[in-house]
Structure 1
Amino acid sequence: MSPVFRYVVICCALIGGVLLLVVPLGPPRSPVNETSSYATLLNATDPVSNEAPKITSRPQLTAQAAVVYNPLQNEFLFQKNAETVFGIASITKIMTAMVALERIGENDVIEIHKSAIETEGNEGTLTDGEHFTLGNLIILMLTASSNDAAVAIAEHVGFLYGASSFGESQTIFVRLMNETARNMGLANTHFKNPTGLDIDEEAGILSNVSTARETAQLIGHALRYPIVAMRTAPPILSSEEGAIRTLSSTHVLLINEPGVISGKTGFTDTAGGTLVTTVEVPLGKLSVVVVLGSTRTDRFDDTLRLLDWLRAP
């Protein structure tokens, strides 16, 4: 049994049921198949739980905080300033995806409005009046880090929950994000928008914050969704009108680093470089690597150092 598939079974039995009790009632959503694609993601043996601890030296990191987390056993293998609060930037979008997936189906169609495309950043080049499925917007949001897609998702869900304006729709969605964080026990994780953009970059005011430890636990929850955990995204996607978008991932380690399954980048001037990476390193060992407070370039180097540490005997 692969480690990701085993993890999904554990989530469904021990976590998923709890979340269903605490998520606010709202419009019915299409059922999500949370296990079917996991069996093909990995082909490895179950992790061994009684290994001797690593004796290799700790990697030297630029990142101000980092963890390596085993979600199968809820075990932290490496920690640096794991409980200190930092900005998470666009890692936020994983929570945005989760909140939407808990409430609507991947095939639900979302209209793009001017308020979304006016958001800072132009990844995805969305246009007013276009329509995309939630699944395609999530792929665009997680692969190309599209802020427009994140806002479009938030607006759509917010209106389903009674918003009467675009501004109110985002406010409602952010409330749902924070409720979800509380329900997961993430006491130091707080959201102010669905994108991760700083509230005031010039003044150095962060929007969304967490700790490395809680960020890893958030990713552990998100792995229940194949669209979040999938190894590679399709190279192109289209709107419901047929307009084609070519995707380029912001996570360079997904391209050619062995063992990397999925992940999400983040960067703002205030938060610095952030990165989450789900890996199978070494073979058969599912881990989540979190790097916060690094630089735009060093976040990848920091992650590679942690992967080398994981591979060491």
Structure 2
Amino acid sequence: MTLFFTIFLPFQQVDAASEPVSINAKAAILVEASTGTILYGKNIDEKLPIASMAKVMTEYLVLEALDKKKIKSDQTYTPSDYVYKISQKRDLSNVPLRKDGTYSAHELFEAMSIYSANGAAIALAEIVAGSETNFVKMMNEKAQELGLKNTEFINATGLENKDLQGMHPEGTSADSENKMSARDMAKLSQRLLKDYPEVLEVASVPKKVFREGTDDKINMPNWNWMLKGLLFEYEGVDGLKTGSTSSAGSCFTATAERNGMRVISVVMNAGDAKGSSLHTARFQETKKMLDYAYNNFNVQEVFQANYAVKDQSVLPVVKGKEKEVKIHSKDALKLVVRNGEEKAYTAKFNIDDKKLTENKELTAPLKKNEKVGTMTVEYTGKGDKLSFLDGDKGMQTDIVTEKAVEKANWFVLTMRSIGGFFAGIWNGITDTVKSWF
């Protein structure tokens, strides 16, 4: 027995240590938000039920409608029979709405985003699109527009259609549910935070009273228990959306910002060996990923703007007043860097062949800051190469000309042509003479 443990146990320990973080969930992803760098992934492209995380798309479309002035935050709404009936189901997450009541789009948005109120989500869908059926069409069209390849929306709430009392959107079945991949959920959340960062003003509220000061007041604790002051408080967490159904299990899309780095994490159908409840496993597994991100990575400007690669920073120019032009990177390139690997990157200039003649020259006239190619970056460290939500676009930036090059006038071009002609003759003569000796 002693011999067995001596020989085999060390190998078991090495195997366990080879995985940087172990997440107990059917699917999970961890992404740095500004670059889309994937820091960790598990089964990230399988389409799975997402429960109320579907409301992230509902939030996006509502904020887009507000931004485009299609709706107003203070416009009022009176519940339809459908919204009224769903809002009365207290076994679901809801704020009860009066059938003859009037509610502003803003307070409905708060109820949906803070308390995951399902009746409020359907109400917002009706405000934006006239009906939930039309809104679901918008959800799927937006998913396609954003490049979400493993996504299917069937309602605005994330509920299983069987919970909608036979009133589910037209064209969807009674036993269907919203589904996304972990990658798509991260991409959608990244776009929401980029396009409408104001969503965090609501998503970060730990608790609020709906209709405070009225007979209809109701407490709205945020289901995101990682917010400040709540049970699983985690420094920097300020969003985004939880979700749970019998088929989706314990789900959570989190976002946090610390030390200038914002990350997005997604866990789908989370659990642990201790049998944690539906509401706690998602936070325990999310904490593992956030700890991993902030303990091992940071965002740095690896290459500054106007960076020039040695021996690649000058290109010849034909038909110009100058015969060459300097080139450099247009923008600074920020990358997610593992601790201690600040110098583990090399840059390379890739000139667009369509910009070059057969002799590999640019043709005047050229504008200042005219794009002539891209600068790509190669990782030369010892760890695994990090990937991105959208290919390797995060590892490149444009190459541009340092200054403008005007086209030379006809006289200069003619003289160059004549000079080139006689230079060719002279070179031919000298080559012949050299061959004699």
Q: C-alpha distance in 1, partners of 2:222/2:141?
A: 30
Q: Is the 8 A contact 1:90 1:195 kept in 2?
A: yes
Of the three residues 183, 190, 195, the one matched with 1:213 is 183
Bigger mean CA deviation after superposition, 172-181 or 71-80: 71-80
Of the three residues 29, 35, 39, the one matched with 1:77 is 39
Q: C-alpha distance in 2, partners of 1:107/1:185?
A: 32
How many Å apart are 1:97 and its aligned residue? 1.6
Q: Identity of paired residues, percent? A: 29
Q: Is the 8 A contact 2:241 2:252 kept in 1?
A: yes
Q: Which amino acid aligns with 2:177?
A: S
How many Å apart are 1:130 and its aligned residue? 1.9
Q: Which amino acid aligns with 2:150?
A: N
Aligned to 1:24: none
Of the three residues 250, 264, 270, the one matched with 1:294 is 270
Alignment partner of 1:132 is 2:103: yes
Q: Is the 8 A contact 1:87 1:206 kept in 2?
A: no
Alignment of 1:205-244 (within 5 A): 205-223=175-193, 224-230=195-201, 231-232=204-205, 235-238=208-211, 243-244=216-217
1:246 aligned counterpart, secondary structure: strand
Q: C-alpha distance in 2, partners of 1:200/1:235?
A: 29
Q: Which amino acid aligns with 1:238?
A: R
Q: C-alpha distance in 1, partners of 2:64/2:148?
A: 18
Q: Which runs of 4+ in 1 moved over 3 A?
A: 203-206, 239-245
1:106 aligned counterpart, secondary structure: coil
Aligned to 1:272: 249
Aligned to 2:127: 156
Structure number with the bigger relative contact order (C-alpha 8 A, sep ≥ 6) is 1
Alignment partner of 1:123 is 2:99: no
How many Å apart are 1:242 and its aligned residue? 8.3
Q: C-alpha distance in 2, partners of 1:86/1:240?
A: 41
How many Å apart are 1:293 and its aligned residue? 1.9
Q: Which amino acid aligns with 1:291?
A: V
Aligned to 1:61: 23
Higher strand share: 2
Q: Which amino acid aligns with 1:85?
A: K
Aligned to 1:308: 291
Alignment partner of 1:249 is 2:232: no
Aligned residues: 248
**Unmatched 5+ stretches in structure 2:** 1-16, 66-70, 164-172, 272-277, 297-437
Q: C-alpha distance in 1, partners of 2:215/2:196?
A: 26
Alignment partner of 1:172 is 2:143: no
Q: Is the 8 A contact 1:130 1:240 kept in 2?
A: no
Return the TM-score normalized by structure 1: 0.73
Q: Is the 8 A contact 1:143 1:233 kept in 2?
A: yes
Q: Is the 8 A contact 2:207 2:222 kept in 1?
A: no
1:292 aligned counterpart, secondary structure: strand
Q: C-alpha distance in 2, partners of 1:61/1:117?
A: 40
Q: C-alpha distance in 2, partners of 1:200/1:133?
A: 28
Deviations 1:166-223 (A, max 9, x none): xxx111110011111111111211100001111348x994411111011011011111
Query: Relative to 1, partners in 2 of residues 1:204 and 1:293: Cα closer, same or farther, differing over 3 Å?
Result: farther
Q: Is the 8 A contact 1:139 1:233 kept in 2?
A: no
How many Å apart are 1:156 and its aligned residue? 2.2
How many Å apart are 1:133 and its aligned residue? 1.9
Return the TM-score normalized by structure 2: 0.53
Query: Relative to 1, partners in 2 of residues 1:105 and 1:241: Cα closer, same or farther, differing over 3 Å?
Result: farther
How many Å apart are 1:57 and its aligned residue? 4.2
How many Å apart are 1:117 and its aligned residue? 2.7
1:280 aligned counterpart, secondary structure: strand
Aligned to 1:88: 50
Query: Relative to 1, partners in 2 of residues 1:130 and 1:58: Cα closer, same or farther, differing over 3 Å?
Result: farther
Deviations 1:109-131 (A, max 9, x none): 22223311322525212221222
Query: Relative to 1, partners in 2 of residues 1:204 and 1:129: Cα closer, same or farther, differing over 3 Å?
Result: closer
Aligned to 1:22: none
Aligned to 2:156: 194
Aligned to 1:15: none
Q: C-alpha distance in 2, partners of 1:290/1:251?
A: 13
